[in-house]
Structure 1
Amino acid sequence: MSLLRDIQQSLMQEGSDIGPVLPKLRFLASRLGSDLLEDWVKHESEGYPSDIDVPEYRRLSVTYKADFSGAYGSGMQNAPIPPALIKKHCGDHWVNYKMRQSVAAIDSLLAGGESGILELDASNLILRLQGKVYQDMACNSVTGILSKAALVELQYAVRSKILELTIELEKNIPAAIEVTIGVTDNLSPDETKTVTQLTQQIFHGDVTNINSSGEANSRVNLNSNDSSTNISG
């Protein structure tokens, strides 16, 4: 069986994990000569480093709750904080969380516990929010809430995009169907360009210009204020 068809078959199996498919796709990417596709598979397998921007499907909405205390024993527990306030005083990256964990880590998070939410460690926001939510109350703790449903959607997005790529490769590059382990067939420069273009369009959605050397010039937005956040189930 060709590597492309093997990947498709694995994706179509009900209840199958995405993790075992990624090494096969990385090997296929190397045979197709696509560094862009190899990099995408590497990041999905090992996680996205802080200096690499994540694809749009890995940007997840986070809501927040906090505990407040006031005079004469008054206070509020688990009080919701409007996202607009978080964005204003702490930055957009706290509201739109960049999920950098590997696919395997996401699988593990979803497998653990029965709760439908995940909690983000947002203790760094306590000082930033002092006196900015309730002026007469002290902020004692802040917790970010991430829905597990959002992670399920992320998983589905990765699976769908891999399947879409294999279908487009099959349509546009017939030679890709012939790739098997142990057999090396070099693609033409035009075919390699097509692989890069398809990868950019499907996984990143940005416009890619292919120059005469076959290299891709892509739009990459880096967020220097990206935060490191711990997750617990």
Structure 2
Amino acid sequence: MSLIHDIQAASIAQNSDIPTMLRMCKLLAARISHQEFAHWVDLELNGYPTVDELPDYRVVRADSYGTFVGAFQQAGKLQIPVSVLPKEIQEQYQNAYMGNSISAYTALIEGGKSGSVQEPWPVALAIHHASKLTPHMQCIAAWKEIPIGAVVRLMDSVKTRVLGFAIDLEREAPNAGELPIGSQPPLSPEKMTQIFNTNITGNVGNIANASSGFIQSSTVVVRQGEWQSLQARLFELGLTESDTLGLKEDLERALAASSDEERKTTAGTWIGRLAGKAASGATGVGIEVAATAVAKAVAAYFGLAGA
């Protein structure tokens, strides 16, 4: 098989070796001369140096627990609300920041392990702040608990992003994975950025504005939170009801969430799925134009910048 097909197969396989899949992506990035993709692959393989650089799929909600002891009683595991902490660090302890290399997390789920992963609090923080929770006991240890399910979702998110990237790249440049290293990029920088943003970063604002000189006339105005107007616009772009199966539920769930990041992630996932179908549908437009049109419609539904 070609390199792109090997990557696609690895991203679909249930028990694939994700670090190996990413190393294949590193080779692909070198062959297509795409620095953004190469940089993302390196971060996934080696870990993210700072919390600020973490993508949203590597930040998850986490509960904290502690062990408490007293003169006449003890508790091996009590949940600790973050309200016992100073306000300036409460958010830090509401979330788990999964910044390690992808191989560190694949090791945690080998053999179908269940349960959770613990991330300890600093001892001084546990003693000084968590001990406020119980008047007759002192906290001697505290930790965040990250469900194994969150680690599995991280793995799936990386595989899904890689699969979408490989599919869109093959659609536009079928032989891209077989180019010699150092050759000219198979696509324009704008198209490569479009494919990367659609599938890897899920950056709706960038997607909706990436195509310079793009003009798309439409008789349908997509209104924020109005599914009927979005559906009508997608049908206008050549999509069918079967193409959008499950879209309404996902978008409504994300719209109800308070986080713009969740909305952008949901939007980015669906834009990647729908753009290719729109490109081959009744409109007959190219993938870049289709992705831009779909992105603008979804961004308008969410009321995001770039609509």
Q: CA deviation at 1:67?
A: 2.3
**How many residues end up aligned between the 2 structures?**
209
C-alpha contact (below 8 Å) 1:87/1:95 kept by paired residues: no
Higher strand share: 1
Q: CA deviation at 1:87?
A: 7.7
C-alpha contact (below 8 Å) 1:3/1:180 kept by paired residues: yes
The amino acid across from 1:49 in the alignment is: P
Higher relative contact order (CA closer than 8 Å, sequence separation 6+):
1
Q: Does 1:191 align with 2:188?
A: yes
Q: Percent identity?
A: 25
**Deviations along 1:106-165, whole A, 9 cap, x unmatched?**
111222794511111113431451553234542222122111111011101111110011
The amino acid across from 2:177 in the alignment is: V
| 1:87 to 1:7, Cα distance in 2 relative to 1, 3 A | farther
Identify unmatched segments of 5+ residues in structure 1: 213-233
**Deviations along 1:172-224, whole A, 9 cap, x unmatched?**
x22x5343164664136x62222123223322223336699xxxxxxxxxxxx
Partner of 2:202: 205
Question: What is the rounded CA distance, in whole Å, between the counterparts of 1:29 and 1:120 in structure 2?
Answer: 34
Q: Comparing 72-81 with 126-135, which one deviates more in the overlay?
A: 126-135
Partner of 1:11: 11
Residue 19 of structure 2 aligns to a residue whose secondary structure is: coil
Residues 113-192 of structure 1 mapped to structure 2, 5 A cutoff: 114-124=113-123, 125-171=125-171, 173-174=172-173, 177-180=175-178, 182=180, 185-187=183-185, 191-192=188-189
Aligned-residue Cα RMSD (Å) equals 3.0
Q: Structure 1: which 4+ aligned runs deviate by more than 4 Å?
A: 83-87, 112-115, 209-212
| 1:96 to 1:31, Cα distance in 2 relative to 1, 3 A | same
Question: What is the rounded CA distance, in whole Å, between the counterparts of 1:65 and 1:200 in structure 2?
Answer: 38
Q: CA deviation at 1:103?
A: 1.4
Please report the TM-score for the alignment, with normalisation by the length of structure 1. 0.76
Question: What is the rounded CA distance, in whole Å, between the counterparts of 2:141 and 2:152 in structure 1?
Answer: 28
